């Protein structure tokens, strides 16, 4: 499938449009009730929030545009270590076009937006944003939130899609 990418270099738009996200979700995710039940405005807001969440992650590499014209973190050039080096150390090569937003970022945006819509009605997201560490309802139901050191996505599947791009903490030996 070919995607019409939103130009992240010249606008602050979400990484993917609501209609494209709907198509992707219907083809790749079994239960999208939260997406189909949402209004157009809610879908758009969730995609913006998902794009913002991705941009807030500690990412490898650097923005594709060297100047201030690129509002979003993608398109992005990965670290040199992640790319192919030619036989000559000065001959830095890559067979990928880094001027486009990678498909895994578009996929992750869809998955994160769906999770935002799912959790939006539960109140869990707001509790975490307010700094609540745990809560209990009637002593029978309780939930604890992990204290997060780095920004994190709500969707585990979205994090997995972005594993190449997310910078990790390396332990010193």
Question: For 8-40, how does the pLDDT look when each residue is reduced to its tens digit (9 = 90+)?
Answer: 333 358 999 999 999 999 999 999 999 999 999
How far apart CA 96 and CA 103 sit, in angstroms, is 12
Average pLDDT, the chain: 79
Residue 128 banded pLDDT, cuts 50, 70, 90: low
pLDDT in the model for residue 82: 52
Q: What pTM, to 2 d.p., does this model score?
A: 0.73
Q: Where are the domains of the chain?
A: 18-58+105-161
pLDDT at 151: 65
């Amino acid at each position: 499938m070919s995607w019409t990418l939103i130009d992240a270099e010249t606008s602050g738009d979400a990484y993917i449009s609501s209609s494209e996200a709907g198509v992707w979700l219907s083809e790749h995710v079994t239960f999208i009730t939260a997406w189909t039940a949402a209004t157009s405005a809610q879908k758009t807001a969730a995609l913006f929030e998902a794009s913002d969440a991705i941009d807030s992650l500690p990412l490898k590499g650097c923005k594709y545009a060297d100047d201030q014209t690129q509002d979003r973190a993608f398109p992005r050039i990965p670290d040199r270590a992640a790319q192919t080096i030619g036989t000559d150390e000065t001959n830095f090569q890559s067979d990928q076009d880094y001027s486009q937003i990678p498909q895994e970022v578009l996929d992750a945006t869809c998955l994160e937006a769906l999770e935002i819509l799912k959790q939006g009605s539960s109140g869990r997201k707001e509790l975490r944003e307010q700094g609540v560490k745990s809560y209990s309802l009637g002593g029978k139901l309780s939930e604890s939130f992990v204290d997060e050191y780095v920004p994190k996505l709500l969707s585990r599947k979205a994090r997995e899609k972005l594993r190449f791009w997310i910078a990790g903490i390396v332990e010193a030996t």
